[in-house]
Structure 1
Amino acid sequence: MGQHPPASAEPGDPGPSTSVSHGHGPVGRWWQLPWLPFWWESRRSMLFDVLVALGYTAAVVLFTVPRDHPFGVPEPAFYAVAVLMGLALIGRRRRPASLCAAAVLATPVLLQVSPLPFFLYALAAYGRRRHLAMLTAAAVLTLAAIFFLPARTGLLPSYALIFFVAGPVLLGLYAGARRAVVENLRERAERLEREQILLRRQARTEERTRIAREMHDVVAHRVSLMVIHSGALEVGAADGERAAEAGRLIGDIGRQALDELREVLGVLRLDEDEEAAPRAPQPTVDDLTTLVEQSRSAGMRIELVCSGPRRPLAQATGHTVYRLVQEALTNVHKHAGNAATRIELRYGPDALRVAVDNEMPAGPVTVGLPSGGNGLVGLRERITLQGGVFEAGPRPEGGFRVAAELPMKEEAP
């Protein structure tokens, strides 16, 4: 029967029209309260209802002289009913149906100064439809009875029904519909804001996962090569030319690792309101030759074979192929030493097949590189996101195999 809080308000939430206070008074605009006071949404609504009630009561008491009342109501009773109904206007939002029924009963006493229009408006705006229908019919019947009584002469003009009933009800229905639309729009805006926050969090999490994969691939492979070359540098320290060549390779590999790390970590320096960082070209299938040569220079036996009609790939697909080969070679460095390795790229009509097979190591591996165990997991996630199929495991004849099948997606112009 009373006014209900907006559907979007949560328990403990001050709502969009209030402000938060911590015991030091209200914070915000002057008409807002730190909580919902009684049944009002804001201080402005409370002040409006109080002013209407006091204004009506003062006008009736000061300017109305109920002499020779048509129904014989004495002046004390008239003023008592007028004051009570005037004060009842304060609670018209809280109990619109009950107070409207009281106003209908008080109409024969107050006649032309009846506050019935105020209560009908409140009932149409804040009450229930079934109560509105019943009390509107009761008000029409009451006013019609007064209109047709012989003693009503000069009391109610012919347009009394419109002024007392139709007008307030229509205005109240309009106000209630408008408030419902505003509440729905506010709820929709809050829901969209929450969804945008969730989408931003999801995008941030996905970007962090991508950065973690990129950093793992960059650091693991480049540092593995640097460790192997540094070991070769220690062994061949007596050979000045070989030592110089190993030192040059270590420097080149270190600079490449730093460049790729700057590119990956540059994304973390952006604020949310800035545009996306301009990224340098990511390594693709065309860079596999350089990757293989760096591993060969560390003493590995690697064979790179390409078959099928070669076609340009989408950047994401080419980058995924590069990272797969890089991770497979890193695992060979860690676990198989200089075991013979074969890299095969097979271009099909609809898919690209990539396989990296290494044989059993000839002896124990003494490089001693750390292993986090997340490289193959990250590869599986990366390839699954591309719509491909990933497999990794020991071969029946010995050694290890890392393979994937990626759909052929040509780069859009």
Structure 2
Amino acid sequence: LDGFERWWDQSGTPRIAVTQNWDGNRLNLTLRQRTPPTPGQPKKRPFLIPLAVGLLDPDGTQIADTEILELKSETGSWIFESGHGWTATDAHLDGPVTRTDDTPVLSANRDFSAPVILERQMSEAERLTVLAHDTNLFNRWEAGRLLAKEELAKMATSGSEPSRAYIGALGRLLSDDSLDPAFRAAALDLPSEEDLLRTVRDEGQVPDPMRIHDLRQAMRTAISERLEDTFSRMFREMEVPGPYSHDAKDAGRRALRLTSLSALVRVEGPGPAREVFAEADNMTETLGALRTLVRADEAEEALATFFDRWKDDPNVLDKWFSIQILEAGPGTALAAARKLTTHPLFNWKTPNRFRAVIGAFAATMSAFHHPSGAGYELVADWLARLDPVNPQIAARTATAFETRHLFDAERQIMMDKVLKRLLKSPSRDLGEIVTRILDG
């Protein structure tokens, strides 16, 4: 276990730079680790990093099963030869990745074998190969997530539609009956708005949360339209007959059915979601259909029905409150939050109810960071009101402002204004959080 103790006594996330070279017969691989400085630890010692790797042919056929490569020092190198597997070597590679049309595709950090960040160059074709064919589900999911980010970036810069190759790969994954339905549902989900926002910032650009929201919606619509027939088939085939069961198999089928329902409503309108809502005999499908109707702005009747049935169950009613905000568009979410704070059952002194409305709104990136600044005002007003009653929840909710440094100067000025207002007479808890945010 020598070297593993550093995972306990050193902070920070290691970054692994990947360099490889294919000469037609052998693949040379060099891994270099570095961990950025953290407070009190300006210089890091190498971690012992077990990296699970496999290899695929460019056509997706696996040519090397999963094997653990142990990176014990700052730099480690290996050579792969067919029939011999991986062999450690002292010959380290320098320079960029070199590849040809027949270069094997490296499937690295399978099953997230090490909590590291990989820094590597992968072509779109390589990511598509991993998404469509890798035997490791984690890496297929990760490839899809990175491809989605790349497609969204291209849409933002060129105004183009998502590529047919990307959506085609999603379609093959969606229709692959050998895959767990739960995995297919997860793999079709796009990166969150906050994830995309941080990615844009990491690339040195100033993110626009409204633009990110619109691009995600445009991509969802494009995927739904191009894969409509497949989503329609999945919606029918994933219906779970018989009495409700909470086992993993049935839960996965319900997840994929609801994913398909969401896509169909974008193309066909709210009819299918209304039918599922009316016929559902379990909370998963009831809430799934309700979320879809809220996203389509067609939920008024369903929301009233749900409220009448569950108004005496506080835990379920919290869902009713939060869904109306979390699933709405930026402008609609702001209006919904304002309206819900006037509802007779908005017991704001109850932590869960406060989180269901104000916490949910603060977590909705495009609505909270609306260019008008109205989202900041709404949250700050309620923090000031809650602080004398429950300073812990007020302080925790105020951490929504911790992302202020990611945004443009105008949004930062508006956030600073409301945060400084909260410092007039705050509790110790809220004052500590707000001061730290402003100083940061």
TM-score range, shorter chain: under 0.3
**Structure of larger gyration radius:** 1
Instruction: State the TM-score, normalizing by the size of structure 1.
Output: 0.23
Instruction: State the TM-score, normalizing by the size of structure 2.
Output: 0.22
